[in-house]
Structure 1
Amino acid sequence: MGMTAPDLLIDIGNSRVKWALTPLRQTGALAEHEAAAHQADPAGIVALLPECRPARIAVSQVLGAELGARLGLALQSRYGIAPVLARVRPDHCGLRIAYADPARLGVDRWLAMLAARRLSSAQPVIVAMAGTALTLDVVDAHGRHLGGFIAPGLHTARHAMLASTRFDHQSGQEDPAGLGTTTEACVASGARLACLGALDRGAALAPANAQKWIGGGDAATLARDLPDWRVVPNPVLSGLMAMLEATD
């Protein structure tokens, strides 16, 4: 019996592209995945993707409608099939969005919630994404999105403080576990504690039995001080997989 063609899942963030291959219509872990920096050029992004003959292509991108349209054409030219461009839907896969205008919700947040909803066994869930921004969303046991917050991410907060003050920046230890002993370390500690405090207060607004998930580039760093949170690799890619499964 021949091999089943995989699905190609693509997550295009502000500066990096991640992709994964997963067996068609098979639930489980992503079979293969990789990440690379990009320059917001559709042809360049497509050149970073794997050589394969996918059955389906699903894309999440946060760079705007114009780039999304050009990217769709570039993907179709290379792989011979039109990609599914993820867009936020108010009621999909058992997830009902709280926003009055769902188009205002970031597609990456929506996909992360889809992934959490798929794996949470109908329990309430808190989904945090720690990247350029720190986001948190809460979904109840019935799939109702209760809302969330957006705050500066770990590095965004640190760089904003250093850029907006007269601090004389010097290289050295800038990621202390506790209190800093240099200006840079104090700024880094403040940014870290601000993120941890935001996550703690956000969790306090969620149902008491909610599962706590965190993904994104700084998830592992923050999770060192979040013992009851689960680090979830590639939540956006997992959300794309859940989105495709709903069409089977």
Structure 2
Amino acid sequence: MGQEKKNTFLIVSGDKVRVQKCTDILNRNFPNCSIFHSAEWFETKYKLDNVHPKAILVDEYLPKGSGFDVVTKVLKERNNNDISIIIMSYVSDHDAFTKEVASGRVQFLNEPDRESALVECVSKIVSPHKVETQVQYQIKQLEPGAILFAEGEKTELTYIVKKGSLRAYCASPEGDKITLGEIVAGEFVGEMGHFNHEPRSATVEAITDVELIAIPNSAVDNVIFTRPSWAKALVKTLSTRLKKANKALAG
């Protein structure tokens, strides 16, 4: 019974600082941990065969090759079918391990140095019953003049506009409303809070009747990964905002 309760992890990385930091975070947040580490495939295979971890955390770049190659080899071996994989990469490769990411067996950790991000990924493995298993988004409707969120509020959700339009504005020192732009159907709104983890930088108000899809920030990466059309919508939104910002700066 004691063996079943043990949380065994294997960290595959050539970065000693990262290995130590991940080790500290795991020990601090999860009970009864046994943590091993390796830096290349042959050592990784030896550890997999002998300690059979619950999960492995793999750096994208290793001293003697690619972390993606290590992940591919792990996935090919049937006796590793119950091992979950976390790839520590600053950018998710949406063309890699599509089926395994969709099933939840493989996760991309884009902020490996942020404790809460690492804990969130590992919690889905160690305590899966605590993770949202139903549809991770919901429909929200607004009438004209309704506030979606206010400047300074805590960021918890990202939205996609299905129907209608909204406007974003912030308050001037004198208390006037400074309009920043209009958000229309097909665009994201509130997405920057997911990326910078900061309070809302503007207030967003419905101009017309609006229907939105609300996505918890903790689920944004996985939802976008499994819905390519949403990923394209996000890129389009960011591109449009950048063009508007450049135009404003140019006068």
When you count helix as a share of all residues, which structure comes out higher?
A: 2
When you count strand as a share of all residues, which structure comes out higher?
A: 2
Higher relative contact order (CA 8 A, sep 6+): 1
Q: TM-score, normalised by structure 1?
A: 0.28
Larger Rg: 2
